Structure 1
């Protein structure tokens, strides 16, 4: 079903948006330290993600292991976006080792707030969709907070549909509970 070595065949792509030039490429083990730092920053910039800053910390070593595993698995993809040698965002598609779930991957993305509006998340998503289609992945899933309307609209433009709602799934800093939207795209 999946093509062996698809991750290795992913080519880096350069984008220029409103004067910002950045590259989307497959993550390398040498990115691990910076990824740990970037993830920590992203977690503190928005409430759209599951974690608050400092929670679920992944160290440089953790990222090295994750990158190694993703490179070895046909149904995993770890991408980074960088500008002038600095990582500004990343995305992952993570599949399952279970045969009954091996046809699908879960997509997640994070972009530093300073780079919102430069289509970084959109390009990470597009590269992931291309990879999934070439790899024989039948379903991409994701979770998005109900208040992240821009992201929900973007996902819909790329063929994702709402599959369900996890009601009162997250409690944010305002003390209120918010729902998580479950979305999927079928190839």
Structure 2
């Protein structure tokens, strides 16, 4: 799936939303380290992910060429500051209709409209790929994200009170949300 869109942010700057490219690997790793160190709302800490540029480059190439998965990056003033993607839950007959949605935007760029646009693009990409359901988990304390997802039609279908355990030993409740794409 190929995608490209330029938008004007709430602060007047331009943001380019496009497919992640293999050449983005170094910038993607830099952005990942920053964004995953800024908040406890994300699944992983920066040091828990493979930081091999060539592996990331191959993954981004695979995503770009895929008919079922997509990774979109957000670029502001030449800097990669966010990404969102959809990925098939599992390539099996009973689950092939479901995709997982994930999104991250660096904290300095929150509330500028980037998350809204990335979410809309991923919902559209999921429909184009033939998915019938898009799913995500969100930390219960992340009300801004939940409101964004609800704005796009996601509904809560469950909770996991011990979904995450932080390094500080604190439990984080996860809200399970889904969007039915065939309705």
Per the alignment, residue 170 of structure 1 pairs with 164
**Cα displacement (A) at 1:46:** 0.3
Match of 2:83 among 65, 85, 90: 90
Contact 1:139 1:184 survives alignment (8 Å): yes
More deviation, 172-181/32-41 = 172-181
TM-score, normalised relative to structure 2: 0.91
Which residue matches 2:136? 142
1:63 aligns with 2:36: no
Return the alpha-carbon distance in structure 2 between the equivalents of residues 97 and 71 of structure 1: 18
* Partner SS, residue 137 of structure 2: strand
Gaps of 5+ in 2: none
How many equivalent pairs are there?
Answer: 180
For residues 46 and 20 of structure 1, what CA distance do their matches in structure 2 show?
24
54-63 or 160-169: which moved more? 54-63
Partners of 1:11 and 1:35 in 2: how far apart? 17
Q: Which SS does the other structure have where 1:123 is aligned?
A: helix
In structure 2, do the counterparts of structure 1 residues 86 and 80 end up closer, same or farther at CA, with 3 Å as the change threshold? Answer: same
| Secondary structure of the corresponding residue to residue 82 of structure 2 | strand
What's the offset of the Cα at 1:147?
Answer: 0.5
Q: In structure 2, how many angstroms separate the alpha carbons of the residues matched to 1:117 and 1:173?
A: 27
- C-alpha RMSD over aligned residues: 1.5
- For structure 1, the 5+ residue unaligned runs are 1-6
Stretches of 4+ aligned residues off by more than 4 angstroms: none
Matched, 1:128 2:122: yes
